[in-house]
Structure formats: C-alpha cells, structure tokens
Amino acid sequence: MTVLIAIAGLGFLILIHEAGHFFTALAVGMRPRRFYVGFPPALVKTKRGGVEYGIGAIPLGGYVKIPGMHRPAPSDLDVHFGSALYEAPQLLQSIERVKRPLAEGEFESARAALAELEAVLATTQLSTGARRQVKRGLSELSDALGSDAYWRQRTWRKLAVIAAGPLTNLVFAILLLAVVYMIGIPSAASRRVDSVDPNTPAAQAGLKSGDTIVGINRMPTRTFAQVRNAIQHSKGRPLVISVTPGYRELGPVRPMKQNGTYILGFRPAVIRYKHYGPVAALHLASGDAWLVTKTMGNWLVHVTSPANRKQISTPVGIVRTSSEAASSGYRDYFAILALISLSLALLNLLPLLPLDGGHIAFSLVEGVRGKAVGRAVYERVSMVGIALILFIYVIGLSNDVGKLTGG
C-alpha cells in the first residue's frame, strides 16, 4: 500500500508540473492542444475550446502539448510527407509550394500553401500508414504556423510558460513544508525505538521496534540526547547497546557515517511536537528550500566525486524512499514529497535540452538574436542533453538496484 502511495505522490508532482505549463500557456494566449491526466494513448478524451482533454493509459503524471515549439523548416515536410510522396509522386509540386515560403521566412504564404496541400491530399489515394502520417504532419505544421505557436511568441511569454512548471513544483514544496511545520515537528524524542531502517548497523545488531536503549558501552543513557551523543562520539568505533525489556546487550556494532553524521539506523519515538503559525511556518519552509537549493548546487559542482555519484537516484529509488517515509507516518511522507518536488524543480531548471532549463536558455538566446533557432539546432543540442541525462540515469539506476539487493 505504501508503494502505491509513493507512486501516486510522484505522479501528482509530475501532474502539477504539467498543469503549471498548461494554465500559464492559456493565460498568455498560447492555447495548448492537449492536456492529459496520465500519458497517452488516451483511454477517454473530449475536446473543448480547441483543447483535447483526456485520461491517459499510463497512470503517472500528466501531459501537455503546446503548439509550435519549434520554427518550421522545409525539411519538416520531408519527414511528414515522405511516405505520401513515395506513394503519390504528383504531390511534389504542392509540397514544394509550402517549402519555398518556409525557406524564405514567409509564413503567411506558407499557411496558404499548406491549406492548398491539405485540399490536394484529401483527394489523393494513400495507404492507412501514410494517411496517418499526413494527418499528423498537417496538424504539426498548422500549429507551428499559427499565431499562437510557441516559437512566434515574445520572449517573456515563452519564459513564463516554460518556467511555470518548475515554479509550480517549487511553490508546492514550500507550501507542503509549511504544512509540516504547522501540524508539528518533533521537538523531543525518547530512548524508545520507533522503527529500524533495513540494512543498517541497528538492524544487523538486532535492535527492534519497541526496544528502549538504556546504555551504550555499559554506560547508562537516561535521555535520547545521551544516546545520540554516544553514537556521534564513537567516531565509528564498535558499540555495545543495552536494551530493555528483558535486558539484552546487542553488538558490538560499528555506526555508519551518513551525510557527515554517525548513525546506527533507527528512529526514536517522539514524545513531543512543536507547532508553528502560518507565517513562521512559511518562513522556515522557505529557509529549508533555500538550504536544499544551495546543497544541490554544491552537489552539481562536485557531481563527479564518488560520494556524490552514490547519491544519484531514479524514480525507483524515489518511490522506495517515499514508501519508507509513508510507512513512518504522514509527517515524514509530506516532508519527503516536498523535497522531491523541490528536486524536480531544480533539476528541470538545468540548462539542458529537453529539460525546461534548456528551453529557457534557448528562449533567451532567441530573444537576443531576434529570431527563432531552427529545429535542427534544437535536435543536435537535445542529443547532447539526452546523452548526459541517460548517463546520470544509468548511474542512479545502478545505485537503486544496489540498495534493493543489499549491494
């Protein structure tokens, strides 16, 4: 059940990201063509106001199609109508009539020529596959030549639409962290063990939920602060843990170092929570978001170091972590979900295509140049970005599989 909750949470974060793009595009007059809950193909769909709304067959996240992301080029007709031209060579003249004004940047003339081509194609005998490709090509080119096409918009509109996705995740993360502060965060813990993390020194030693740590290295511990200090001051040296009920000695066991702190891998039971008002909660949540942003920036600068490479994760690891948080309680789950949302926002702002940050960078370049960059340039740069993203993904998947198998 917790795994399903974790998957639903990740899907929700992707959905609100796409919703940010969608509603901002509507607000600035750039009407999207599709908005799906889930990914296509569609299970159910309807069209209203020129927008196709649907529920996708892949129930994770969402999908939005913004018209004319790239400036159309003559080569686009070869891609879309190549099969049709092979089956009906008489289409060549009509296709060339669209290519010429596209090459010269006369887009209104290209629209008129495209309408003529569509009329010719309607009476041309084509196979089912070629007809399907032609239909898709006419739709793509019509969108790209429309007045609301993304590439034709002023720079501020393009930046607003693309930045809206990551900003939605950022705002959601801060608001959710603020909710966590308002419902209460632990302010005092007991020596009693609430849960034990798998594959940790505590689990290996046999520490169990419900145990109370009454001594470390046969020295009495009367508060959780004494337990924590004893683990920290060990510097990784073996510890003998005394627990009740039914007095037992566990270990010796060596604490492990995680994020610069020595831990055994258990969660103490909370005996008191501290609650904050809305203003204080928002202030603290914003501070947390800024701290995570700086930490991630430092991580990106040193991403090639072995320690940082081990921290890379994929949806597999994200679901695993949030599933464990969900099993620990809704406070931990909300906090993890907020951090995942913040991470999605920051990673999407990296200046790599096809990430949002890459589109933002290109929009700025186009604003300085005064004209749109061609699709071919986008595709070449995207290949580099995709290669880097896949490389990072493979490292993250290797880390996640290793954790799942105990490696």
CB-CB contact of 238 with 264 (8 Å): no
Q: Between these two residues, 260 and 384, which has the higher pLDDT value?
A: 384
Q: Between these two residues, 345 and 309, which has the higher pLDDT value?
A: 345
Q: 212-223, pLDDT tens digit by residue?
A: 888 888 888 888
The domains found in the chain, sorted by start residue, are 74-145 (no CATH), 186-274 (2.30.42.10), 278-404 (no CATH)
Residue 125 is predicted with a pLDDT of: 92
What's the average model confidence in pLDDT over 30-49?
A: 88
CA separation for the pair 332, 340 (Å, rounded): 12
Residue 115 is predicted with a pLDDT of: 94
What's the average model confidence in pLDDT over 363-384?
A: 84
Q: 253-283, pLDDT tens digit by residue?
A: 888 887 678 888 888 887 777 888 999 999 9
Mean pLDDT for the chain overall: 85
Single out the residue of 224, 225, 201, 214 nearest to residue 248, CA to CA.
Answer: 214
Which residues, listed in sequence order, are joined to residue 35 by a DSSP beta bridge?
Answer: 53, 64
Which residues, listed in sequence order, are joined to residue 188 by a DSSP beta bridge?
Answer: 272
* pTM tops 0.85, yes or no: no
What single letter denotes the amino acid at residue 267?
Answer: R
Residue 269 is predicted with a pLDDT of: 83
Residue 407 is predicted with a pLDDT of: 47
Q: 314-367, pLDDT tens digit by residue?
A: 555 666 666 666 666 777 788 888 888 988 898 888 888 888 999 999 899 988
Q: Between these two residues, 41 and 119, which has the higher pLDDT value?
A: 119
Given the structure tokens 């795994």, which residue do they identify? 3
What's the average model confidence in pLDDT over 171-200?
A: 86
Residue 282 is predicted with a pLDDT of: 94
CA separation for the pair 7, 323 (Å, rounded): 8
Neighbours of 179 (CB within 10 A): 16
CA separation for the pair 372, 25 (Å, rounded): 19
